[in-house]
Amino acid sequence: MKLSKWLLVLSFLLLPFTSAVSDSASAEGLEPLAPPPATDTLVLKMLSAQMIHNGATYQSAQPVAAIDGRTYIPFSSIAARYGYKISYDAVKKESTAKSDRHELVFKIGSGFAVRDGVQTKLTGVPYISKGYLMVPLRSWGEMADSTIAVVGKQITLKWSTVVIPPKPTADFEVLPTEIYAGQTMVTYTDHATNTTGMPFMDERWDGRLDIFPEPGTYVITREVEDSNGVWSDPFSVTVTVKAPNLPPVADFTTDKTQYRIGETISYTDLSTDDENAIARSTFTGADKAFFEPGEHPVTLEVEDEHGLKTSVTKTVSISNEVLYTKDEYDRLFTATGDIYAVDGAAVLNYPAYKYSIVNEPAQMVRSNSPETLVQEGISYHAQLTGKVRFMFHNVNNIGYPVSVHLLATNMGSGTANYNKSASGMGGPTASPELAGKLSTSRYLSSLASNPTPVWSTILPGETKEILPELAKVPMKAGESLSSYVDVFSDRELLYTVVVTAVGKNPVTELPNLTDLPRDGKHVRGTFYNADRSITIDDQIGAAPQRIMFGDVGGVDTIIDGIDEMTGQLEYNRGNYGVLYRMHLSHVAPNTLISLNARGGLYTGAFLVNDQLVTVANNQALRSNAQSAVMYRTGASEEAVDIVFTIASGSNLPIAMTFTQLPQLRQ
C-alpha cells in the first residue's frame, strides 16, 4: 500500500508514470485511478475564433487578432479556459481575472498590467473590439505561467495544472495549563491542518504522557502524515510540570473552650493550603449559639481550587448555665432582614394599634389582569397627565418568549415633555414571588436615592416606547416579570401597555393589537389616591403591639379606581402598588420591630430610616410562625420612618410587630 500511495503522488507530477499507478491499483484489487492531466494545452489559430482545449473545441468571443505584429485574444475567453473568474471595475476601468494562484488586472489603453499586486509591462496595449476587451496573448501567457509555441498560424499554450499541496501541520494543545506530577490527567487537543481534506494516515509522538511522573520541564513533539504520504514538520509543545499538589489542611478554633446556653460563639477559620488557594470552606453544625448543654460536634470542610478536600471535626462544650433562651437570643441577635421563630397565635394577642390613614392624591396604574398572559395584545391603556406610578406583574403562558412594553402617545397638538425617575424591575424569573421582591426592593432603593429625572419629548401624534428596559430581557415561557416606574408628563398622554412576541416593534404592531380581557381574579385600573401617610405620635413598643396591613375590615381599607378599558369601577384588592409612608414619632427604647406574615408566604422590602431592609433576605416568610427583623431601637426613644409598598406575588395580611428586647447580659 505504501508503494501505490507514493506512485499516486508521482502520477500527478510525471505523466509517464500514470500506467504504473493503474497497474498497482489493479494489483491491489482496486478500480484503476484516472488522474487529471498534469498539463493543459490550448490550441489557437490566427484570425479564428476556434479554441481547442485538451482536445475539446470551444468558441472564442472574438477571433485571434494581429495588430502591428502583436497577437491579441479576448480577455473573457482566455480567462475561462484557464479557470479564472473575471470582474470589471467601471470606476477604474479595470478588468480582473482571479484564480487560486494569481490575480491579473488589465486596464483599457494601458501598456501595463498588475500580477498579484506587482506591475508588469505588456507586449501590447489592451483595447476594445465589438464590446470585448482584447489583451496581448504573449503577455497573458507569461502572466499565467504558460509556455507559448507558434508554428505558422497555429499557437499552442501549455500550463501546469498540478498543485502540490502544502505540508500538513501537526499543531496540538496540552490541557490543562497547570499540570501536577503524578496527579493531573493530561489531554491533547488536536489543532493539526491538512489541505487534502482526508484523514491523516499516520502520526508520531515523542514525549507524550497522560500523567507526568515527576516535576520538571517536558517537550512533547508530534508529526503527522497526510493521504499523499507527506509528513509534516515536527511540532513541539513545552510544558512545566509542578510538584504534586497537596490537599488543604482544615482547622478552626473558637474564642473560648466552654460556653453557656445562648452565648454567642466566634469561629475562626485557620485552614491552610500549599498554594494558598482554598476555594470553599463549609462549616457544619457551627451554630451561632447552642441551647442544649453538652458536647456539640462542629465540622469544617475545605476544598482547594483543584478539588482536593479535607475536613476536621471539633466539639463545642456547652455548660448548664443559661445566658439567653433561644427566643431571647433570636430577638437580640438575628440579623436585620433575617427570620426568627415566633408563636404565631400569640401575635394575634398583641393589641392592634388603631392608626389613621391620610390618603394623598397620587395616580397609580396597576397592570395585573390578566396576570397570566395567554396571547399578545393590549393589557391596559389610560389617558393621564402629571405624575403616574406604573406597576406591572405578569406571568408568560403564551408558549413563546414575549416582551411587555409601555408606550405613550401624544394625542394633543403641542409637544409633550415627560420624564422617568424612580424605577425597579424584578425578573424575568420562574418565581413570581422573587420577581415581586426584587422589583419592590429595587424601586424603594431608587426612590431613596432620589434620582434626577430623565427628560424626553413626544411630538403631536407620535408614539414612543418610554420604558425600553422593561422589554430588554424577554419573558420566556413560564417566567414572571414585575416592575415599578414613576413617570411625569406636562401634557396628557395615552399610555398603553402591550405584549408582543420578541422581535416585534410594539409601535408598528399597536394598530393591529386587540384588548386583552380581564382574568376575573386580578386587578387592572387607574387609581387616584395611591399614596398613604400614617403618622403615629403615641409611644409605641413599650408593650407588645401590632400594626396590621391588608386585613379585611381593618384600618387599611382598599382604594378604588376605574378600569379605563371597560369603564367599570375597580377595587385595588391588597392595595398592591400603593406607597405607604409611616412616621413613628416615639418608638420606645429597646424595641424590636418585626414583620410577621399572617396570610402565608410573604417577601418584599421596606425602607427603614432610608435604609433598605429586604424581608427574609435570601428567603421568604412562609407562615405566621416566622417573623423577619426590621429594626431595633437603642437605649433611648427614637423616631422611625418606614416607607413600603406591598410586594407583588406575596400574600396578605401582614403584621408589623413591636416588642421589647430582652435585657443584655454578660
Could you write out the DSSP letters of every residue in 447-472? Answer: HHH-PPPEEEEE-TT-EEES-GGGGT
In this prediction, residue 241 carries a pLDDT of 96
Classify residue 265 as exposed, middle or buried by CB count within 10 Å of its CB (0-12, 13-18, 19+): middle
- Confidence band, pLDDT 50/70/90 cuts, at residue 42: very high
User: 172-241: CATH homologous superfamily?
Assistant: Immunoglobulins (2.60.40.10)
pLDDT band at 666 (very low <50, low <70, confident <90, very high): confident
Q: How confident is the model at residue 24 (pLDDT cuts 50, 70, 90)?
A: very low
**Domain range list for the chain:** 39-160, 172-241, 252-323, 338-358+531-660, 363-526
Cα–Cα distance list, 28 to 18, 97, 317, 414, 512 (Å): 16, 43, 86, 91, 72
pLDDT on residue 28: 36
Round to whole Å and give the CA distance between 44 and 32. Answer: 33
In this structure, what DSSP letter does residue 515 have? B
Instruction: Please report how the helices 2-13 and 18-27 are oriented relative to each other, as an axis angle in degrees rounded to 10.
Output: 160
pLDDT at 4: 39
Average pLDDT score, the chain: 91
Query: What's the average model confidence in pLDDT over 51-72?
Result: 93
Question: What pLDDT does residue 228 have?
Answer: 83
**φ, ψ for residue 318, nearest 5 deg:** -115, 125
Question: For 103-155, how does the pLDDT look when each residue is reduced to its tens digit (9 = 90+)?
Answer: 999 999 999 999 999 999 999 999 999 989 999 999 999 999 999 999 989 99
User: Which of 59, 65, 90, 95 is closest to 77 using CA atoms?
Assistant: 59
**Report field, pTM of the whole predicted structure over 0.85:** no
- The grid cell for 366 is 396597576
Task: Name residue 80's amino acid.
Answer: A
What pLDDT, on the 0 to 100 scale, is given for residue 384? 96
Segment 396-404 mean pLDDT: 95
Taking a C-beta distance cutoff of 8 angstroms, is the pair 654, 549 a contact? yes
Superfamily of domain 252-323: Immunoglobulins (2.60.40.10)
Q: What is the pLDDT of residue 25?
A: 35
Buried b (16+ CB within 10 A) or exposed e, 544-554: ebbbbbbeeee
Say if 172-241 and 252-323 have the same CATH topology: yes
User: What is 338-358+531-660's CATH number?
Assistant: 2.60.120
In this model, does residue 10 exceed pLDDT 50? no
> In the predicted model, is pLDDT for residue 36 greater than 60?
no
The confidence band for 17, taking pLDDT boundaries of 50, 70 and 90, is: very low
Beta carbons within 8 Å of 232's beta carbon, 6+ residues apart: 167, 168, 169, 170, 192, 223, 224, 225, 226
Residue 15: pLDDT over 50: no
pLDDT interval class at 12 (50, 70, 90): very low
Give the per-residue pLDDT at 163.
62
Q: Is the pLDDT of residue 191 over 80?
A: yes
**CATH superfamily to which 39-160 belongs:** Copper amine oxidase-like, N-terminal domain (3.30.457.10)
Q: pLDDT digits over 611-659, tens only?
A: 999 998 878 999 999 999 999 999 999 999 999 999 998 999 999 999 9
298-343: per-residue pLDDT in tens? 999 999 988 999 999 999 999 999 999 999 999 999 999 999 999 9
Q: Is the pLDDT of residue 14 over 90?
A: no
Digit-coded pLDDT (tens) for 352-361: 999 999 999 9
Segment 409-422, tens digit of pLDDT? 999 999 999 999 99
Q: Averaged over 343-347, what is the pLDDT?
A: 95
Query: For the segment 239-258, what is each residue's pLDDT rounded down to a tens digit?
Result: 999 999 899 999 999 999 99
Query: Percent of the chain beyond pLDDT 90?
Result: 85
Burial of 505 (0-12, 13-18, 19+ CB in 10 A): exposed
Q: Show the cell assigned to 43.
A: 490550441
Write the pLDDT tens digit of every residue in 576-603.
Answer: 999 999 999 999 999 999 999 999 999 9
Q: Please count the helices (runs of H) and the strands (runs of E) in the chain.
A: 8, 48
Average pLDDT value for residue range 287-291:
97
The 10 Å Cβ neighbour count of residue 92 is 10
CB atoms within 10 A of CB 322: 14
How confident is residue 26, by pLDDT bands cut at 50, 70 and 90?
very low
Residue 428: predicted pLDDT? 94
Cβ count within 10 A of residue 99: 13
In whole angstroms, what is the distance from residue 559 CA to residue 525 CA?
Answer: 11
In this predicted model, what pLDDT tens digit does every residue of 152-165 receive, in sequence order?
A: 899 999 998 766 67
Please name the helix (run of DSSP H) or strand (run of DSSP E) that holds residue 26, with its range, or none.
helix 18-27
Per-residue pLDDT of 511-560, as tens digits, reads 999 999 999 999 999 999 999 999 999 999 999 999 999 988 889 999 99
